[in-house]
Amino acid sequence: MQHRTAEIKAYLINLQDQICDGLAKADGKAEFINDEWQRDEGGGGRSRVISDGGIFEKGGVNFSHVMGAGLPASATAARPELAGRSFQAMGVSLVMHPNNPYIPTSHMNVRFFIAEKPGEKPVWWFGGGFDLTPYYGFDEDCIHWHRVAKNACDCLGDEAYPKYKQWCDDYFYIKHRQEPRGIGGLFFDDLNEPGFDLSFEFMRSVGDAYLAAYLPIIEKRRSMSFGEHEKSFQKIRRGRYVEFNLVYDRGTLFGLQTGGRTESILMSLPAEVSWQYNWQPQAGTEEAKLTDYYLQSRDWLGCEQG
């Protein structure tokens, strides 16, 4: 398994570079800075961050490979068989926050986890996905995003996309707000049943699909004009993003509970955000349409066929 772990790590490092190159080219102004770090308990990573760019107000693409002698409560609560095992966790995780409110925030994560104990078979799985968080919705953007997501699932057969789309809708749901975080995409975890090779292939398919899903949306929306009204709404909606990441996100909780690097874990948070007491959009506005129409568990590819 050790040589396969090295193969996964090499893929993830290359994926981080490819994504940063593609996003920097789209931005056209700013470049990603590199920040390599080491973890006292074992492992480390490379955070690549962009800010104040032509497109991106703030964004980060993080690679990490961490290891330890024991797992935190967030990992063993639902998997008691993992208690007492050493572990390795590696992955690429990114969040991009554009300045223009008409360009959605995007998130992607692909990861591999293995827990080992002498004399027993290793326990391993892959996970990941990508999802889109618009502030002002466009049907064609949602359809395109989900079309790319469906294509990324082809290697696992016809049942994979509906399964992982629904999982994404369920996972990125802000329970205390009773609303989805965005328009979804894919989410999968604990993937090992297809076997190592096919599971790894699917993880690569998801990672490789991200730019194809996101860059065309950037190009369509980057020239749309906006003012303070749209920016104010964007900041309010970003508050929902912060709430989800700090309250529910497994990756954030795992990173904090394993003594991960705080700056890298919290790089997903936007630069500017606001909360206004009991703020509600005016009925019939584009701001109201976001929650009334777009932030619903919708069959976007069915919309395309219709």
Query: For the segment 89-128, what is each residue's pLDDT rounded down to a tens digit?
Result: 999 999 999 999 999 999 999 999 999 888 888 899 999 9
Catalytic site residue from 3, 65, 97, 107: 107
User: Does position 12 have pLDDT exceeding 60, yes or no?
Assistant: yes
Provide the pLDDT confidence category of residue 252 given band limits of 50, 70 and 90: confident
Q: What is the mean pLDDT of the chain?
A: 92
Let me know: does 83 contact 76? Beta carbons within 8 Å: yes
Closest CA to 214 of 112, 300, 134, 273: 134
210-222 per-residue burial string, b: 16 or more CB within 10 A, e: under 16: bbebbeebbeebb
Structure tokens at 194: 């297809």
Q: pLDDT band for position 157 (50/70/90)?
A: very high
Q: Is residue 213 scored above 80 in pLDDT? A: yes
Q: Are 235 and 272 in contact (CB under 8 A)?
A: yes
d(CA 93, CA 91): 6
CA torsion 255→259→261→264, rounded to 10°?
Answer: 10
* Percent of all residues in the chain with a pLDDT value above 90, rounded to a whole number: 76
pLDDT tier for residue 306 given thresholds of 50, 70 and 90: very low
Kindly indicate the confidence band of residue 256, based on its pLDDT and cuts at 50, 70 and 90.
confident
Q: Is 107 a catalytic residue?
A: yes
Query: Model's pTM, two decimal places?
Result: 0.93
Q: What is the largest CA-CA distance in the chain?
A: 63
Q: What is the DSSP letter of 270?
A: -
Mean per-residue pLDDT, 241-255: 86
| Confidence category of residue 83, pLDDT binned at 50, 70, 90 | confident
pLDDT per position as a tens digit, 158-179: 999 999 999 999 999 999 999 9
Q: How far apart are CA 35 and CA 20, in angstroms?
A: 13
83 touches 123 (CB < 8 A)? no
